[in-house]
Structure 1
Amino acid sequence: MIHFQSIEKKKRDPYFDLLLIGDEGVTEVEKYLDKGELLLVLMDQFAIGVMLFIPVDQTTIELKNFGLLPEWQRKGFGGQALMLAIAYYRERYQKMEVGTGNSSLDNLAFYQKCGFRMVAIKSNFFSNYAEPIYENGIRCLDLVVFEKTIENN
């Protein structure tokens, strides 16, 4: 069964490689590593991923990073973890926001299947990364921003 463990700021370094699954920019991950809440995604007692959430304002929480080990991807575990996180934040926030690269075709489909809607595109967001990112034969340059209403009604 999937569940979370919150990781204190001073104990996050061992999970850096998992964060690099969700964001290939080492410098960028270092900038937000100690912000927000880092949730270790566990299957029973085995760490299969991480989710880092940062409050945007009093009504919106951002999923800043979601790194799931490759062998656990495309099997429904990411969706389960995301739905659990939505339930976790539902009492405190009205909306959840997440961004992904224009070249991340699997992520674009994943977030839409989870009920997120595209709300913005931040052009050239990834153009300042130290190394260019290519996925699916496409250069990752733009950030596609998704949003989902999560509040209890």
Structure 2
Amino acid sequence: MLIRQVPSAEAPLNLLLEADPSLVAIKRYLERSICHVATVEGEPVGTHVIQPLGEGVHELMNIAVAPAHQRKGIGARLLDHAIAAVREARARRLELGTGTFGHQLTFYQRAGFRVVAVERDYFLTHYDEPIYEHGIQHKDRLRLALDY
């Protein structure tokens, strides 16, 4: 697997939509972000997008793996790559937002991320359509951070 930086205009929107259902939001944050794409035999199988926020803080805006390639360790390698890229940039913190339940939360916590805030009703006010996972509607968003 090869992970390389691509211009934001070449970001694989179909993959990014796997993790964030709002094309409007994706396009908005892509403009100010750094996108990396993971490929296997030239096929895009995953991606991550990081946005520098300033003062040594970066935010992981999106990380996604194509459904056919999930459960193969690609997401973990992408997350490791994102963490290493932010460390290399000499940042002091990597933040992200995720739902209050589901496999994503455990995924980030295994990598050392800790909850730093709860944004009540985030998914209700920032998305036009309700987002469900395992029959449960996402309402609040957790802010997580990994400090270096």
Q: TM-score, normalised by structure 1?
A: 0.86
Deviation at 1:56, TM superposition (A): 1.7
Change (3 A) 1:77 1:30: same
Deviation at 1:91, TM superposition (A): 2.3
Give the Cα separation in 1 of the matches to 2:105 and 2:53. Answer: 21
The residue aligned with 1:57 is 54
Counterpart pick for 2:112 among 99, 104, 115: 115
Give the Cα separation in 2 of the matches to 1:81 and 1:108. Answer: 16
Higher relative contact order (CA 8 A, sep 6+): 1
Q: Is the partner of 1:35 in helix, strand or coil? A: coil
Task: Note if 1:9 corresponds to 2:16.
Answer: no
Change (3 A) 1:7 1:141: same
Give the Cα separation in 1 of the matches to 2:50 and 2:71. Answer: 22
Which runs of no fewer than 5 residues in structure 2 stay unpaired? none
Give the Cα separation in 1 of the matches to 2:41 and 2:54. Answer: 33
Q: Percent identity?
A: 32
The residue aligned with 1:148 is 146
- Alignment size in residue pairs: 146
What is the RMSD computed on CA atoms of the aligned residues?
1.6
Give the Cα separation in 1 of the matches to 2:134 and 2:5. Answer: 33
Deviation at 1:5, TM superposition (A): 1.7
Give the Cα separation in 1 of the matches to 2:146 and 2:117. Answer: 13
Counterpart pick for 2:80 among 68, 80, 83: 83
C-alpha distance after superposition, 1:35-93 (max 9, x if no partner): 21011122353211111100122311110011111122222221111112211221221
Q: Is the partner of 1:144 in helix, strand or coil? A: strand
C-alpha distance after superposition, 1:102-147 (max 9, x if no partner): 24x1001100111111111111111131111111221111111111
Counterpart pick for 1:99 among 97, 100, 103: 97
The worse-fitting range, judged by mean Cα deviation, of 19-28 and 35-44 is 35-44
The residue aligned with 1:138 is 136
Give the Cα separation in 2 of the matches to 1:90 and 1:124. Answer: 32
Give the Cα separation in 2 of the matches to 1:5 and 1:91. Answer: 15
Counterpart pick for 1:66 among 63, 67, 70: 63
Task: Note if 1:31 corresponds to 2:28.
Answer: yes
Give the Cα separation in 2 of the matches to 1:48 and 1:100. Answer: 21
Give the Cα separation in 2 of the matches to 1:109 and 1:32. Answer: 24
